[in-house]
Amino acid sequence: MVPPLVLDIDGTMTRPDDSIDPRFFDLLPRWDAPVVIATGKAFPYPVSLCHFLQIPELVIAENGGIVLVNDDITRNGDGDAARRVANAYEGAGYELGWGKIDLTNRWRETEIAVRRDQPLGPLSELASEYGQEVVDTGFAYHVKSSGVSKGMGIKSVAELLGRDPEEFVAVGDSENDVSTFGVVGESYAVANADEKAKRAAGTVVEESYSTGTISILEEIRERSDE
């Protein structure tokens, strides 16, 4: 039997051009165990991805701020505090960096994302003042509640599914995957992962992005068939 999975999206299920690798649309619906999509993206993105992949809606969104297991939704982060940090940051003359419409934060409920080309120092200082913290996912700076993480999310998912977190295999590429790697039984970082993710992972594979992730899943399936 194959183990349950925890998969990050950006840099893990995507190709270098940020598109989802279409091979997952054949691979994941046939995975005979739960597949959890764990991401820093706003809640609607992983829910939509599950829909189009045609897999059950098992989601950890906004770096653990929201957990969805089928019809059960848990919100862990303080979105109001994160928005106060964003307002103070803009009031100090900085920008979130996404333009007037800001589709990155439009549907975000428990945190705020800031483009990585914006100043990090003042953002971190303001976050601390409001009891928040900043995590760098490699794609954005995320202002979120202290202690909220993907790892906390997978513990919640596992409990709701009646599973032990150590049954899960996780694949990721970023600092925000470190907490996940710390609670699952088996963890992999793809070759494009940042140094924190590589140090935390049980194994770092040679292949990058989605190709690395698919190679991991194929190896797991072969091992499970033996």
| Catalytic residue positions, numbered | 8
Q: What is the DSSP letter of 14?
A: B
Distances (CA, A) of 226 to 131, 219, 222: 50, 11, 7
Give start and end residues of each alpha helix (H) in the chain. 24-27, 44-53, 79-91, 120-129, 150-161, 178-181, 195-200, 209-225
Distances (CA, A) of 131 to 78, 84, 204: 10, 11, 34
Question: In this structure, how many other beta carbons lie within 10 angstroms of the beta carbon of residue 56?
Answer: 14
8 Å CB contact between 138 and 10: yes
